[in-house]
Amino acid sequence: MNTHSRSDEVRARTRAMVLAGVRGLTLAVAMLPVSILCLVLTLLSIALIPIGVGLVTTPAVLAAVRAFADVRRRLAAEWCGVRIETAYRPLPEGANPWTRTFALLRDRQTWRDVLWLPVDMTAGFFTALLPAVLVFYAVEGFALALGLWRAYSESPDGTYWYAFVPVSGPLSALGAVPLACGFLFLGYLYGPRLLTAHFRLTGAVLTPSQAELAERVRVLTETRRDAVDASAAELRRIERDLHDGAQARLVAMGMDLGTVEVLIDKDPDRARALLAQARQSSAEALSELRDLVRGIHPPVLAERGLGDAVRALALRLPVPTEVSVDLAGRPEAPVESAAYFAVSEVLTNAVKHSGADRIWVDLHHTDGMLHATVTDNGRGGATVGAGSGLAGVERRLGTFDGVLAVSSPAGGPTLVTLEIPCALS
């Protein structure tokens, strides 16, 4: 049993060594040109900001750098179990190039990404290459002993140096075998650790400070608390609507039916009138229950998704509303529900307060973000202040790390943009 377990352990460590070598070689060879390109483009784009060209190119270049860093974060987690945290500041969609550029340049996480590039090109390159060197250099040593030395014997001096061992013939090629075994043994012991060290170096540069993480935790704590408060308020609303609406009607209907039992023989006409009244009360109670259920989670949202649910919502508005949807799939149910009710609240505000005679809604998904934009041609002046409906929308989105941006100059138009990070299924 111990022999079998030992054999399994050796096989597992050997496999880990080979994987570390292959992955390290991939990182060193494939990622080095990308790091150099990203660094050159970043420096060039920032240098062109004073003449205006950089205002257009910098957001795209920094987005590419962020995507490259995200790839390395994902590989660190998948290959070596090294988690690298992020603390990017959200950027509202629709901001002008000047605002987006300087918002990115004020983000500390962006500068960590940029500073990581030269580290990845130097120390990161060598720490990624070392596991591959230990594995593949050992393979070369064994290949020399098996006959590869002949390819080097035809060179002008007829000698090939394998590390510090000169190889010029079959006997000297055999001298490379002990050295190759040494490299292989080092790779067996330290190859996976060296690859982990590469990702830990990456994490040391990319991971935000404890102060930033603490701020992130504080924001998340507030949004979760807001979510709990919103859920409690929603529960109280449902209880109130049931008590004041459907429950009251059902009680009245029960009383009417009790009276019918007394009058059915004495006064049939009066009993029939009360039965008709009870039937009307049951229909009204059923309608109120349907409205209540629709307010909790509209059936069209569950059955047909966010796009059709917003279209159905727009058809019930008194203001003509155009809805444009470009979604290749559906987000998770909680995100979909939050987005629906957020759009519903924004549309309600537009109808009640803007004085608009036209509303436009746009839904699309790009770069891992669900975007919803509501535009009206009303009087403007909308704000995300305390007590406004938009403040509630902001709290709802904050539960999912979403953001709300409002552009509403006096005289209009009003543009409300909602963004929620999510994936589509």
Strands 321-326 and 359-366: parallel
Cβ contact 21:132 at 8 Å: yes
Question: Which amino acid, residue 330?
Answer: R
pTM: 0.52
Helix, strand, coil % over all residues of the chain, rounded to 5: 70, 10, 20
Q: What is the mean pLDDT of the chain?
A: 79
CB atoms within 10 A of CB 170: 13
C-alpha–C-alpha distance, residues 125 and 165, integer Å: 26
**Percent of the chain whose predicted confidence (pLDDT) is above 70:** 77
Each residue's pLDDT tens digit, 64-123 = 999 999 999 999 999 998 999 887 877 655 566 777 788 888 888 899 999 999 999 999
Q: Which strands form 369-376's sheet, in the order they lie side by side?
A: 321-326, 359-366, 369-376, 414-421, 403-407
Query: Can you give the pLDDT at residue 87?
Result: 78
Q: Which pLDDT does position 287 carry in this prediction?
A: 66
Do 306 and 327 form a contact (C-beta atoms < 8 A)? yes
- pLDDT at site 68: 93
Query: Does 380 score more than 60 pLDDT?
Result: yes
The region of weakest confidence among 12-16, 254-258, 420-424 is 254-258
pLDDT at 238: 61
For residues 270 and 263, is the Cβ–Cβ distance under 8 A? yes
Nearest C-alpha neighbor of 395 from the set 223, 221, 184, 146: 223
Give residue 65's pLDDT: 93
Q: Tell me which of 30 and 174 has the higher pLDDT.
A: 30
**Per-residue pLDDT tens over the stretch 213-270:** 666 666 666 656 655 555 555 556 566 656 666 666 667 677 777 777 777 777 777 7
> How does residue 40 score in pLDDT terms, banded at 50, 70 and 90?
very high
Which residue, chain included where needed, has tokens 């009710």? 341
Distances (CA, A) of 126 to 77, 120, 394: 20, 9, 46
Predicted pLDDT at 173: 74
Q: What percent of the chain has pLDDT over 90?
A: 17
Highest mean pLDDT among 142-151, 206-215, 365-374: 365-374
Which tokens belong to 337?
A: 């529900």
**The pLDDT of residue 133:** 86
In our burial notation (b when 16+ CB lie closer than 10 A, e otherwise), range 234-255 reads eeeeeeebeeebbeebeeebee
